[in-house]
Amino acid sequence: MRTFYAVLLGTIFGIAAVFLHSFFPPLGIIIAILGSATGIWSIGRVWGKRRFKIIASILWIAIIMRASAAGVGQEFLIQGDGLGLSLLNFGLIAILVAIALPI
């Protein structure tokens, strides 16, 4: 059941980051990155295992990568501007740090 919740929370954090990163710059990108990293860190803190953080992080990365790729109508949810690239780069770094932090 915890694995299911880790998948669900990783998906929610990823979707929230996609929609928040372009809202009211630069506050939106800060909230998206810090919220995702804090949420993924707290998953491991609550359940006591790093594997749940890794599961949630994989889902977060999958959502972010899919949102940055062209859709059927050639639309992008994460554009290649400064905010989009910041979410990709700094978000990935923050997620990796959240995984590496001790439980």
Q: pLDDT for 4-30, tens place per residue? A: 999 999 999 999 999 999 998 899 999
Q: CA angle, 95 as apex, 65 and 8 as ends, to 5°?
A: 70
Q: From CA 35, how far away is CA 64, in angstroms rounded?
A: 14
Domain boundaries, the chain: 2-100
Other beta carbons within 10 angstroms of residue 88's beta carbon come to 18
Q: From CA 44, how far away is CA 79, in angstroms rounded?
A: 31
Question: What is the dihedral sign for C-alpha 80, 14, 86, 82?
Answer: positive
Q: Check pLDDT > 80 for residue 103.
A: no
Verdict on whether the full-model pTM lies above 0.75: yes
pLDDT band at 87; cut points 50, 70, 90: very high
pLDDT band at 35; cut points 50, 70, 90: very high
